[in-house]
Structure 1
Amino acid sequence: MATKHQELLTLEGAKIAVAASEKKAREIGVDMNIAIVDASTHLLHFSRMPNAKITSISIAMDKAFTAAGHRVGTHTYKEAVWPGGPAYGLGNTNGGRFTTFGGGLPITNSKGEVIGGIGASTGTPAQDQQVVQAGVDALEAVLKGKVSAKL
């Protein structure tokens, strides 16, 4: 039987992504809920900034879940999920957790394999997207050796 070794996103790596995301949220002036999941879509780390919307907690988690589980950013579904679109109804799958608007990105390793996902919610989808992109960029900088940290 063949097996595959999968790199794992560590809690330290998740904290790096959250710290960068929180910094971006402060820069744009919107407190956020930020969730990090592992490759299996289970919650690894969560941050709720002081003025983040309580109703956005589960949305941030669901964006991370969708990005890791489907291996693409949640913003990619925008046109496909409208009535008549090829993926219409997709948002009703996975117990209603599948998210089809911006603010969720997969986290990949240096080989391009998905090792987790990040989701943010409270702002507009564009603001949420900026925040998660900052988290992904921070992890990529570590992986490329531009910043020293243990993942």
Structure 2
Amino acid sequence: MATRSQAQLTLAGARIALAAAEAHARNMGLGMNIAVVDASTHLLAFGRMEGAKITSLGIAMDKAFTAAGHKVGTHNYKEAVWPGGAAYGINHSNGGRFMTVGGGLPIKDAARNVVGGIGASTGTPTQDQEVVQAGVDALEKVLREEAKGTGPKAKL
């Protein structure tokens, strides 16, 4: 087979994840920069909340880029990037865009294929991680419902 079809994250899907992540950040009392990218790491949606740090705009986008492109959460690199670690120096790859701190997660469809990524920045890595997890959870809930035929048709 020379080609294959795969699910694509749409703007509607990105907005579901973004809205849930923003709501969670508000509940935590934080203003965040939140980025959602597709599986090809291209930006689909971005939110800059009141109080978010200007210097974390690119960080949020790079966390989403890393999570989608490498297909794992950015927090997975915490121990591996120190001198002597298995991934030491990886943060210099991809034009310096590869992020190794928490706050970036891949977004997976109902079949568990990576269809995008979400990244947040302004809080601590743990707070950023909590915010993006809320976005992933909200979108994955919609996707599970759609796969069962019980949810809204907010196409990926």
Give the TM-score normalised by structure 2. 0.94
Deviation track 1:76-119 (CA, whole Å, cap 9, x = no partner) reads 00000011111100001000000001000000101111100000
Q: Which residue pairs with 1:55 in the alignment?
A: 55
2:38 corresponds to which residue? 38
1:148 corresponds to which letter in structure 2? P
Matched residue type, 1:81: V
Contact 1:41 1:65 in 2 (8 A): yes
Find the counterpart in structure 2 of residue 26 from structure 1.
26
Give the distance between the partners of 1:54 and 1:96, measured in 2 at CA. Answer: 18
Rate the CA distance shift 1:53–1:147 in 2: closer, same or farther, 3 A. Answer: farther
Mind listing any 5+ residue stretches in structure 2 that lack a counterpart? none
Range with greater deviation from structure 2 (138-147 or 19-28): 138-147
Where structure 1 has 5 or more consecutive residues not aligned to the other structure, the ranges are none
- Contact 1:141 1:147 (8 Å CA) reproduced: no
The amino acid that maps onto 1:47 is G
SS at match of 1:68: helix
* Residue in structure 2 matched with residue 105 of structure 1 by the alignment: 105
Q: SS in structure 1 opposite 2:4?
A: coil
1:85-96 superposed matches below 5 A: 85-96=85-96
In structure 2, give the amino acid aligned to 1:50: E
Alignment partner of 1:4: what SS?
Answer: coil
Structure 2 distance, partners of 1:66, 1:3, is: 25
Distance in 2 (alpha carbons) for counterparts of 1:75 and 1:26 = 22
Cross-structure match for 1:117: 117
> Is 1:70 matched up with 2:74?
no
Q: Which residue of 1 aligns with 2:152?
A: 148
Task: Give the share of equivalent positions with the same residue, in percent.
Answer: 68
Query: Could you say what the CA RMSD is over the residues aligned between the two structures, in angstroms?
Result: 1.1
1:149 is displaced (CA, Å) by: 4.6
Q: Which runs of 4+ in 1 moved over 2 A?
A: 146-149
